[in-house]
Structure 1
Amino acid sequence: MIDLIVLSGTSNPDLSKQVARALKLPLGDIEITRFIDNECRVYIKENVEGKTVIVIQSLSAVADQYLVELCLIGHALKSLKAKKAIAVIPWLGYSKQDKEFRKGEAVSAQLVAKFIEAAGFDGVISVELHSENVLPYFHIPVIELRTESVLLTSLRSRLSLEHAVVVSPDKGGKSRSERFARSAKLPIAYLVKKRDLSTGVVTVVDIEGAADEKDVIIFDDIINTGATAIRTSQFLRVHGAKKIYFLATHAVLAGNASEQLAKSHIDQVIVTDTIAIAKKRQFPKLSIVSVAPLLSDAIKTL
């Protein structure tokens, strides 16, 4: 393997430790502190000259803060003459705003890509991008990792798939759900939704395919407020679904999502650790699967 150093930002230190352990490397020495006015200060103590440096940082929760931190690390690495700097960004925050939905809106995904490049990073490794529209905004190599294998392994340890069906929650998730169904060798059904133009509320009105008397698996990239997952589970339960499993790569769990999911019709929520989940946001139905093996395998190919 190349001469490698792994540095961790402050967004997801546990995942960084697991990745370093999988690579049989210690975490590099970096000090990240705050000035009295809350501005970020980065001090890299490691000798990185001529070496490839991996920086692990999710752009979650306080995404603005973590983005600036990541860029400061990248800038410092270049000044220290690192051979190559790779940003490992398990959750690429701001990726939902990948185009101008209304005139006058900032395309934040495009600007974030420019920030990362301007900071001096030579490449990016990310996990399950919210939209492929993000990729053209980067002019450096981007490796996108898929999570269906790790989530499917976890699911199989909990459920016999003999009487299961994958249900696609919406048009945006159709290709993702179909990919998961192919991996699991399972049939797929599609929910039909209708948006109230006056209120913006989306309602499930029908299902194309059979979910009656089936164990239902819903696979999505993000679980944010959980509202969509909860409404979907209510509809599926009414239409005869047995157990309902909601699988998501990125557990944002905004607001009271954890509380609402805990009392929903969903039997099990399985997510990955691309975003650090505080203990207070965890609940009995929640299982967390690590993407550290995926990330370490990708890093080994550099």
Structure 2
Amino acid sequence: MSAIYALPGNEDFADRLAQHSGLPRRVVQVHRFPDGESRVRIEPPVPRSVAVIVCTLDHPDAKLLPLVMAAATARELGASRVGLIAPYLAYMRQDTRFHTGEAVSARVFGQLLGGAFNWLITVDPHLHRYRRLGDVYPLDGYVVHAAARLAEWIAREVPKPLLIGPDGESAQWVGAVARMLDAPWAVAAKQRHGDRDVRITLPALDRWQGHTPVVLDDIIASGHTMIATVQCLRERSLPPPVCVAVHGIFADGALQALHAAGAGRVVTSNTIASPQAQIDLSEDLAQVMLARCGGRLRTVAPPHRRTRP
């Protein structure tokens, strides 16, 4: 029988996958020695089964070697195939060589994981110059999209939403969610003058007075783009914006800065564990996982549709 293996910190998501799929959840132990080396130990897989390793890849450097060792050990102990569920996939930013001598880290990271795993399931990777995951990862890659689950949450929690994209890259998520909700939406123009210097220009929003702004993006990392957007919205005398993202990294005090800027609520999916991770995507990933493990694909109800007021 196939089984799910959770690296430390991924137990909750793995338990949810096990609940949806009926597959057993097994243990991966990682011990850190004082000199910084790691010892990895797994429960042996059933011979010729599929071992599914769950590890979200925020702060990836410390996770990579134990992850690769767990995959290699599962294969050595009898697994016929080893899959990776990485709800958040790191190292997508540096997808080209911007300056002489730089590593193209997206490609390097992809080659490392491609050598360790047969397949990969992730959620909305931040692709820039690549059109699909297979252009970076030499394995079978499957992308789960979070838009429907984000729309469900917004329909349930936000009255009269006005969806706002903080920059042009966010338009694909904002447009998709707005269509599901039949809600109005707009996209801001962004000028970046440095890692921490972001200027946001909003279009006219007067026609949607009385709506609740929902600032929607795929990632909150440093949060500077979303913070600038929230500040602009507060200057328009709109209600406190609700900030929603697929992935919540919250580096460098980003969450506190968002609230200080005037955000009413900050919510993400559970691709990365945090108190803000209130939108569960585990059932959607379990469907794809079951297909890779020879199980039956389960049906997920479509998101609730709201008629625009």
What range is the shorter-chain TM-score in? Answer: 0.7 to 0.9
Shift in CA distance, 236/224, structure 1 to aligned 2, threshold 3 Å: same
Distance in 1 between residues matched to 2:148 and 2:204, nearest whole Å:
26
Matching residue of 1:201? 197
In the superposition, the TM-score normalised over structure 1's length comes to 0.87
Partner of 1:25: 23
The match for 1:261 is 258
- How far 1:12 moved relative to its partner? 2.1
2:280 & 2:175 partners in 1: Cα distance? 23
Give, as a single letter, the amino acid of the residue that structure 2 aligns with 1:140: L
Q: Distance in 1 between matches of 2:10 and 2:4?
A: 13
Q: For 1:59 and 1:287, locate their aligned partners in 2 and report how far apart those are by CA, in whole Å.
A: 15
Deviations along 1:111-151, one digit per CA (max 9) or x if unpaired, are 111101222x1100001101162620112111111112222
Tell me, yes or no, if the aligned pair for 1:11 and 1:59 is still in contact at 8 Å: no
Structure 1 residues 66-124: Cα deviation after superposition (integer angstroms, max 9, x where no partner)? 111111111112222311111001111112222223232211111111101222x1100
Q: Which residue of 2 aligns with 1:130?
A: 126
Paired residue for 2:40?
Answer: 42
- Check conservation: 2:123, 2:143, Cα contact below 8 A: yes
Where in structure 2 are the equivalents of 1:11-160 lying within 5 Å?
A: 11-61=9-59, 63-119=60-116, 121-131=117-127, 133=130, 135=133, 136-160=135-159
RMSD: 2.1
Partner of residue 300 from structure 1, selected from 248, 268, 290: 290
SS of the residue aligned with 2:126? coil
Q: Distance in 1 between matches of 2:98 and 2:84?
A: 28
Q: Which amino acid aligns with 1:96?
A: R
Is this contact kept in 1: 2:220–2:248, CA < 8 A? yes
Residues 48-75 of structure 1 deviation map (CA, whole Å, 9 limit, x = unaligned): 32001110001113x1111111111111
Q: Residue 244 of structure 1 corresponds to which residue in structure 2?
A: 241
How many percent identity over aligned positions? 24
Any conservation in 1 of the 2:87–2:271 contact (CA below 8 Å)?
A: yes
- Retained in 2: the 8 A contact 1:58–1:90? yes
- Which residues of 2 match residues 198-237 of structure 1 at below 5 A? 201-207=197-203, 211-237=208-234
Q: Deviations over 1:10-49 (max 9, x none)?
A: 2422212222222233312433222332212222222332
One-letter code aligned to 1:236: L
Distance 2:88 2:173 in 1: 17
The amino acid that maps onto 1:4 is S
**Aligned mates of 2:265, 2:148 — CA distance in 1:** 18
TM-score by length of 2: 0.86
Structure 1 residues not aligned, in runs of 5+: none
Contact 2:164/2:174, CA 8 A, preserved across alignment: yes
Equivalents in 2 of 1:273, 1:200: separation in Å? 26
Query: How many pairs were matched up?
Result: 288
State the 1:201 CA deviation: 2.1
